Structure 1
Amino acid sequence: MIKAYRSNCEAISLSADQSVTQISDDIVWIDLINPDRAEETLVEKALGVELPTREDLKDIEPSSRLYTEEGNVFMTGSLVWNANSNDPRLTDVAFILAGNRLVTIRYAEPKSFNLFTAAITRVPHEMRSGAALLLKLLETIVDRTAEILENSVVGIDTVAAGIFGEQARSKRKAPRYLEDKIADISAYHRLISKVRDSLASLARLQSFLQATPNVQQDKEAKETGRSIGRDIQSLSEHASFISGNLTFLLDAALGIINVEQNAIIKIFSIASVVFLPPTLVASVYGMNFNVMPELQWSYGYPLAVVVMLVSAIIPFIFFRWKGWL
């Protein structure tokens, strides 16, 4: 699918069966979403630019992701996609500055693009050039990344309260309670890792874009690019801080599990010590000696039972007094 946007913010759709002459000069943004080969050919003929394929976008070499060719600027950035689900992913998006136009190629629909297209009609003056449009799009992407981090912080605070809060103490006895918390921590860690990878990719992209003539010759665009760079750096630091908190929560949860397991083992150890004297008494009277006066007593059996109970109760009281239980 091909969506195109004119300088007056009018959105139109293009199809592969249309003539290349239908891409008019006032179109400043061409957005290719899951394009097939026919749609790629249409845009290539209209702009005289060879577009990168889906396989090209997966290349991690800097020379393949950020380069200039015949005056056109080719950039590939990794964006967080599906962040609100249990399966966050990174999707590679190509940003191409071909003359005064911006061309984007993507095989997913990150929320930042939907937010940008919804708000684009409110800022028509930003459609003056492809470079200015790209910078505003990057601003939206960075804002969306900040939103993801903010939502993650709220969720992580909830997990922390579940581990250390007052209500958590009674729930810990429930089966797999802390195991579920570890699963939540793992999910947040995976999301934050994706965000950090995306921010690293955006930082490289912003630095490369900042050095291009498209930005250097526009004072306002140059300042906007610097602001985006500062935002990316601050978000990267914030993501590192959140990652450190997640590591602490994981260590704390594992520590609590270890303490509770040690307490259970302690109980079993004490129980074995408590029942050791009764076992000794039962073993003595279970021996087949010919001379054992207690065997002839009428109250020999009740006496043996009482002795076993007393020998079990006395160690139990002693352990409670020492605070071992």
Structure 2
Amino acid sequence: MLYVYIKTQNALVQRINFNLDSQELPQNILWIDLLHPSAAEIAFISSEFNLEFPTKEEREEIELSAKYWEDNATITINAHFLVRDLKSDEEDRNLIKLRTEIVTFATAKNILFTIRYNEFSTFEEIQARILASPKNFEDGFDIIDKMFEVRVEKDADLLEWIDKEARRLRTSVLEKKDEYSYDEMLKDISSLQELNMRVRDSLFDKRRAMTSLLKSDKIDKDIKQNLTIVLKDLNSLVEFSVSQLNILDNIQTILASQINIEQNKIIKIFTVATVAMMPP
């Protein structure tokens, strides 16, 4: 499916659901969003704008050269976006599940092209901003700028949630609350550690992309200034993520100590019982 965002004569932005069979591409295109695109749709856009989109294998490569490359006319970025699934286990305790999806950004002639195979709240928010405040989006680079800004904000929200859950767990461990078993606590600690590492990997990925964008001569001064601010916020989040991992490790150590104490108590009880039952 192709969504084409165009600038109108009255300085507004209009979104068109583009159909290959019955339409021609309009003028003054700001952004073409390819959601679950078919091979024909990708081939059409590639031909119309002389673009070479990465293959599925190239999108999934981990080398830096596969995540960002730039030539005289285009910039291509393969960025990791986190998809958040809220699930509940049999005891109705909410657990956040995350998976990583790759989104391709490409620019040519100041137009942004995105290829994605999932719905993202970040895209929905940016779409709403473009339609509500079109003056803030002069070209595709403005959209990339705001896209990374919003995504970093959402990663910050995830880290805040992890911090809240870590504090709750620490209180439960220290106060020895009976609402969770040791197995459940260890499972929750492990889940929070996994979430933290996924968010941190996502932050690292965006930091590489933004750092590369700042070096590009295709980006104007205002966008570079905003990206620099977002990058500083991102670096602060990375430090916060590291401190969270240390806190979770500390909670795990405390819990392990409590488990050892409980096991020692049980061993003492069995030892006393064994001695008491020994014949005189």
- TM-score with structure 1 length normalisation? 0.78
**DSSP 3-state at the match of 1:238:** helix
Does residue 207 of structure 1 match 2:222? no
Letter matched to residue 25 of structure 1: Q
Contact 1:78–1:92 (CA under 8 A) maintained in structure 2: yes
- The alpha carbon displacement at 1:201 in A equals 0.4
Q: 1:188 aligns with which of 192, 200, 222?
A: 192
Structure-2 residue corresponding to 1:65: 67
1:110 aligned to which of 105, 120, 128: 120
Normalised by the length of structure 2, the TM-score is: 0.90
- 2-side partners of 1:157 and 1:9: how far apart? 45
Partner of 1:165: 175
Does the alignment pair 1:265 with 2:267?
yes
Query: Quick check: 147-156 or 76-85, which moved more?
Result: 76-85
Q: Could you tell me how far 1:51 is from its partner in structure 2? A: 1.2
2:153 maps to which residue? Answer: 143
For 1:270 and 1:119, locate their aligned partners in 2 and report how far apart those are by CA, in whole Å. Answer: 71
**Quick one: which amino acid aligns to residue 193 of structure 1?**
M
RMSD: 1.8
**1:314 is matched with which residue?**
none
Gaps of 5+ in 1: 281-325
Partner SS, residue 247 of structure 2: helix
User: Could you tell me how far 1:84 is from its partner in structure 2?
Assistant: 3.8
Q: Report the residue type matching 1:3 in the other structure.
A: Y
Greater strand share, 1 or 2?
2
Does residue 76 of structure 1 match 2:86?
no
Q: CA deviation at 1:237?
A: 0.9
3-state SS of paired residue (2:54): coil
Distance (Å, rounded) in 2 between the aligned partners of 1:62 and 1:252: 39
- 1:23, 1:46 within 8 Å by CA — same for their partners in 2? no
Q: Equivalent residue for 1:90?
A: 100
CA distance in structure 2 between the aligned counterparts of 1:88 and 1:48, rounded to whole angstroms: 35
CA contact (8 A) 1:135 1:221 kept: yes
In structure 1, what residue type is equivalent to 2:248? L
Higher relative contact order (Cα pairs below 8 Å, separated by 6+ residues): 2
CA shift digits 1:66-122 (9 cap, x unpaired): 111342011111121125444311111111111211111112223222222233333
Unaligned runs of 5+ in 2: 88-95
- Structure richer in helix, relative to its length: 1
Distance across 2 between alignment mates of 1:18 and 1:243 = 54
SS at match of 1:95: strand
Partner of 1:48: 50
Amino acid at match of 1:75: I
Residue 63 of structure 1, CA deviation: 1.2
Per the TM alignment, residue 198 of structure 1 is displaced from its structure 2 partner at its CA by 0.4
Equivalent residue in structure 2 for 1:230, among 229, 232, 251: 232
**Does the aligned pair in 1 maintain the 2:126–2:143 contact within 8 Å?**
no
Residue in 1 that maps onto 2:19: 15
1:73, 1:26 → 2: CA distance?
19
Distance in 1 between residues matched to 2:137 and 2:22, nearest whole Å: 24
Runs of 4+ in 1 over 4 A off after TM superposition: none
* Letter of the structure 1 residue corresponding to residue 268 of structure 2: K
Q: 1:187 to 1:156 in 2, by over 3 A?
A: same
| Superposed counterparts of 1:173-322, under 5 Å | 177-215=181-219, 218-276=220-278, 279-280=279-280
Q: Deviations over 1:245-278 (max 9, x none)?
A: 11111222222112111111111112222333xx
> Which deviates more, 123-132 or 2-11?
2-11
Amino acid corresponding to residue 16 of structure 2 in structure 1: I
Count of aligned positions: 268
Instruction: Quote the offset at 1:23 in angstroms.
Output: 2.1
Q: How far does the alpha carbon of each residue in 1:291-318 deviate from its partner, in whole angstroms, 9 at most, with x for none? A: xxxxxxxxxxxxxxxxxxxxxxxxxxxx
